[in-house]
Amino acid sequence: MLNHLRRSAVLTVVCFVVFGLAYALAGTGVAQVLFPHQANGSLTANGSTLIGQNWAATRWFHGRPDDFGPYAADPKKGISGGDNPLVANGVKGESGATNLGPRSKTLLEDTRILISWWHAHGVDPTTDLVTTSGSGYDPDISPASAFAQIPMVAKYSGVDPAELHRLIAKQVHGPQLGFLGSAYVDVLQLNEALAAAERAGR
Amino acid sequence: MGFFWTIVTLVVALGIAWRYLGSYMAAVFDGRVRWLGWVERPIYRALGTSPEREQSWKRYAAALLVFSAVSILFTYLMLRLQGSLPLDPQHLGAVPPALAWNTAVSFVTNTNWQNYGGETTLSYLSQMTLVVQQFVSPAVGIAVAIALVRGLTRRDASTVGNFWVDVTRCMLYILLPVAFLAGIVYVGQGGVQTLAGPAHVHDALNGVTQTIARGPIAFMEAIKQLGTNGGGFLNANSATPFENPTALTNWLSIFLLLCIPFSLTYTFGKMAGSRRQGAALLTAMALIFGAWVGFTSYAEHQANPAVAAAGLPHQPTGNMEGKEVRFGDTSSALFGVASTQTSTGSADAAYDSFTPMGGFGLITGMMLGEVSPGGTGSGLYTILLFAIVAVFIGGLMIGRTPEYLGKKIQAHEVKLAGLGILIMPIAVLALTAVAVSVHAGRAGPLNAGPHGFSEILYAFTSQANNNGSAFAGLSGDTAFYNVLGGIAMLLGRFAVIVPVLALAGALGAKNVVPAGLGTFRTDNAMFVGLVIGAIMLVGALTFFPAISLGPIVEQLSHGRFF
């Protein structure tokens, strides 16, 4: 028994040094040398291309409604909102889904609000424009969701719909290696492209 | 079409792993792999042991239990003291006692149930402490499986191996190299790996400011999947782009969490001197797994009922509530089935928001006892329990004393196998009954109606199977759920491991009866059918009433919302 205890203590210390400290430090070292951009969070001038943001203004393409409408951050109700890796717009939170079940009244009502919001802005919404993501900050939307938003973005930004169509088509990432996962558009990259096109057009 | 090729590439990759990782693992546990001898030998010296000094099953079990108790205590203390320790860039305080208990038990039992939000609760050092258990706990599970295989294949033996040596070899030769290589791939695809603390960003286009949680995430991700652990750095687990950035890493995650459990059947066959014996178990595992993948991905490709009723009946991309665009519906369902049937419990989507039948696919996958292919080690030793029950039933049918690999299966062995199989359903059903009977338990669910019951049932099914996935709407961070969940996890782990090791000892002491004409064969289609039958029968008989009250009622409640 004492022998077991002594060996357990020794192996715990060894494992902590090897798999706790050395593994993480060596991994961080290799990562920072080989892929510093990715290892630090794929950060660009306007945020991370891997973290969704709340595009409240109608002149921009919107992402998943993780931090929008009925799902917006609200300190009073204790809702941290999505698009909220740790702190966003002053509200503290963490990644997470709504966890609303498939027969949830709340989900039904929230989705109704979102659908009528899109209709009021001239958009015929796709599924991923009225459903929230698993992480709460999905940076992507489907290509169909981007094309669907053209009437709204054209109206409020003043950019020609045909030009928007061209911008989106350039931003579509196909399924990886041709067959893995779904095609998507990164919303931050799409809006950055839109801003660049507007600057060039002026 | 994309989903088809996803499956095909996975099958090919897993087939290669089965053959080569399987034989490599057999070589590791036979002591024929020595390329890390320079690390291995000093560890044995410090432990005061050596591969030649084997243990009886009782000493093996005692070493395992003491080591696990010390691991729980160490992890608990590290979480309680994190505020006074380094590598805490967000200055997070101590983890409260009940939560620290639940978390420590959770990671030591290979469950990785998470009642905390990683990025807002744990310091970097605490996360690294949990990673230690993500190496240790799968190694312990595999060691137990290997001990059972030794019991089945040795004759007149009084020992089942050396616990310290088996665990050390498993971590050094199998888990460490594979996890490290996989970690590099995760980072290359966009996984975050830094100690620099959160990033502060400002978007000039929309005026949004964000504080983005970062950390040593990607390498934790690698061992989280490989060791069928499932506990991620961030609250939303593999759904977050920092843990699982692309469809490729999603594929890699599914591969990693399936590769060891499936390959261990090859290891078993190799150690038993008959590849066909391993292939028979593999076939039973793969058939169940394949059926569940088909069913669940079909269910998730259907429309979400609430979204449909809200005015969007046409959902060509399937149920997208709680799913990430880059993965899509069917790949998320595949991930969910792989994760729930390997005792991993990681999640690339919100399982709580799956369609009623999609959720049925996930929870029933666990209820079968985590055998298809099950957790690292635990999958093999649990399906071997079912195999023993199957030969017992087969023996009854033809009126002969049943044998498995030439070992006579007698009353003692059948009792131990039955005990190992029945602990989990008893724990799940009893604890769920307690939870729905008291106020503290009923206060947990987020969703109303049958889905609320499903959340409670899922929680105890997951913890007693050491899975760790959740219908995460349940508010599990209460004293009630923390303490009860901890008990479920301990029972599901150690109340199964001890009978399994006792079985290893009992079988090892027996001689081998030469196979004759009347011997019931355990390497053909008939036997595969019997094993699947035993698994299905036990699962259906014990859980059908409970599951009826959850997902099945929910599926049948057309037009009703709760």
Cis amide linkage into residue B313, ω under 30° from 0: no
pLDDT band at A89 (very low <50, low <70, confident <90, very high): low
Q: Do residues B209 and B331 share a domain?
A: no
> Looking at the complex, does the CB of residue A17 fall below 8 Å from at least one CB of chain B?
no
Query: Per the structure, how many domains does chain B have?
Result: 2
Residues B185 and B263 occupy one common structural domain: yes
Cα–Cα distance, B406 to B411 (Å, whole number): 16
Mutate which of B44, B125, B140, B312 to test chain A, going by most A C-beta atoms within 10 A? B312
Q: Does B306 lie in the same domain as B241?
A: no
Cβ of A53 under 8 Å from any chain B Cβ? yes
What sign results for the dihedral spanned by CA atoms B179, B470, B282, B493? Answer: positive
- pLDDT score of A202: 65
Same domain? For B228 and B332 the reply is: no
pTM for this prediction: 0.97
**Is residue B49 within 8 angstroms of chain A, CB to CB?**
yes
Q: How many helices (H) and strands (E) does chain A have?
A: 9, 7
User: Inter-chain contact A175–B2, Cβ cutoff 8 Å?
Assistant: yes
- Residue from the list B183, B446, B562 with its beta carbon closest to the beta carbon of A105: B562
CA–CA distance, B356 with B362 (Å, rounded to integer): 10
- CA torsion sign for B200, B475, B237, A184 is negative
Q: ipTM more than 0.90?
A: yes
Asked if A2 has any chain B CB less than 8 Å from its own CB, the reply is no
Buried b (16+ CB within 10 A) or exposed e, B216-227: bbbbbbbbbbbb
Are B321 and A195 a contacting pair at CB < 8 A? no
| Domain boundary pick from B273, B302, B331 | B273
Which one of B248, B320, B562 has the shortest CB-CB distance to A128?
B320
- Closest among B267, B250, B473, B494 to B373, alpha carbons compared: B267
What's the confidence (pLDDT) of residue A82? 74
- Residues in B closer than 8 angstroms to A18, CB to CB, are 176
Which of B235, B250, B273 is at the close of a domain?
A: B273
Please return the burial class of B92, using the count of CB atoms within 10 Å of its CB with bins 0-12, 13-18 and 19+.
middle
Beta bridge partners of B403: B408
| Residue B73 Cα, gap to closest chain A Cα (Å) | 11
Using 70 as the pLDDT threshold, list the residues of chain B that sit under it: none
Tell me how far apart the alpha carbons of residues B211 and A170 are, in angstroms, rounded to a whole number.
Answer: 30
Q: Is A27 part of the contact surface with chain B (CB cutoff 8 Å)?
A: yes
C-alpha B238/C-alpha A196 separation (Å) is 33
CA distances from A25 to A35, B26, B194, B361, B452 (A): 15, 30, 9, 39, 42
If you measure CA to CA, which chain A residue comes closest to B126? Answer: A20
Q: Kindly state the DSSP code that residue B354 receives in the 8-state scheme.
A: S
User: Is A40–B192 a contact, with Cβ atoms under 8 angstroms apart?
Assistant: yes
- Identify whether residues B50 and B109 lie together within a single domain: yes
Q: What is the residue-wise DSSP string for B362-386?
A: HHHHHHTTS-SS-STTHHHHHHHHH
Note the pLDDT tens digit of each residue in B365-403: 999 999 999 999 999 999 999 999 999 998 888 888 899
Q: Which residues of chain A does B198 touch, with a Cβ-Cβ cutoff of 8 Å? A: 85-86
A93/B42: higher pLDDT? B42
Which residue of B183, B322, B331 is in closest CB contact with A97? B322
What are the structural domain ranges in chain A? 2-39, 43-201
Q: B395 and B267 share a domain?
A: no
B450 and B526 inside one domain: yes
Q: Would you place residue A91 in the very low, low, confident or very high pLDDT band (cuts 50, 70, 90)? A: low
Q: Cβ contacts of residue A23 below 8 Å, gap of 6+?
A: B131, B135, B176, B179, B180, B219, B223
Cβ of A142 and B167 within 8 Å?
A: no
Beta-carbon contacts of residue B479 (< 8 Å; ≥ 6 apart): B98, B440
Task: Tell me if B129 and A20 make a contact (CB, 8 A cut-off).
Answer: yes
A-chain residues near B43 (CB < 8 A): 11, 14
Whether B11 has its CB under 8 Å from any CB of chain A: the answer is: no
Three-state secondary-structure class, residue A43: strand
Which residue in the block uniquely carries the two structure tokens 């009630």?
A: B480
Contact residues on chain A for B40, CB-CB shorter than 8 A: none
State the Cα–Cα distance between residues B96 and A130, nearest whole angstrom: 37
Residues B102 and B83 in one domain: yes
Give the pair of three-digit tokens for residue A112. Answer: 């109704």
pLDDT at A56 over 90: no
Residue of B nearest to A8 (CA): B67
pLDDT of residue A88: 63
Residues 6+ apart with CB under 8 A from A199: none
- Taking contacts as CB-CB distances below 8 angstroms, the residues of chain B near A148 are none
Structure token digits, residue B49: 């042991």
Buried b (16+ CB within 10 A) or exposed e, A22-40: ebbeebbebbbeebeebbb
**Contact between A103 and B557 using a beta-carbon 8 Å cutoff:** yes
In a domain, B9, yes or no: yes
* Shortest CA distance from A5: residue in chain B: B66
Residue B561 lies in a domain: no
Measure Cα distances from A201 to A158, A159, A195, B239, B346 in Å: 11, 9, 10, 38, 47
Residues A58 and B529: their CA atoms lie apart, in Å, by 59
C-alpha distances out from residue B50 to B53, B153, B158, B214, B335, Å = 6, 22, 17, 41, 40
Among B246, B273, B300, identify where a domain stops. Answer: B273
E strands, B310-421, are 403-404, 407-408
Q: pLDDT band at A201, cuts 50/70/90? A: confident
Q: Do the Cβ atoms of B194 and B215 come closer than 8 Å?
A: yes
Q: Give the C-alpha distances (Å, rounded to integers) separating A9 from B49, B167, B542.
A: 14, 14, 40
Return the sign of the alpha-carbon dihedral for residues A121, B350, B256, A15. positive
Whether residue B148 is found in the same domain as residue B287: no
Question: Same domain, yes or no, for B263 and B306?
Answer: no
Other CB atoms within 10 Å distance of the CB of residue B514: 7
CA distance B262 to chain A (A): 23
* Cβ(B465)–Cβ(B424) below 8 Å: yes
How many whole angstroms separate alpha carbon A59 and alpha carbon A198? Answer: 12
- Write out the two tokens for B211: 């504080």
Spatial separation of the C-alpha atoms in residues A68 and A59, rounded to whole Å: 15
Residue to test with chain A: of B137, B326, B451, B555, most A Cβ within 10 A: B326
Per-residue pLDDT, averaged over A116-143, amounts to: 96
The C-alpha angle with vertex B155 and arms to B150 and B160, in degrees rounded to 5, equals 35
In a domain, B562, yes or no: no
Question: What counts of helices (H) and strands (E) characterise chain B?
Answer: 21, 4
Q: Please answer yes or no on whether B321 and A125 come within 8 Å at the CB atom.
A: no
Torsion of CA B334, B337, B339, B340, to 10 degrees: 170
Neighbours of A41 (CB within 10 A): 28
Q: Residue B385 sits in which domain range?
A: 276-556
First to last CA, chain A: 80
- Same domain for B267 and B167, yes or no, is yes
Residue B503 shares a structural domain with residue B356: yes
Nearest chain B CA: its distance from A61 CA (Å): 11
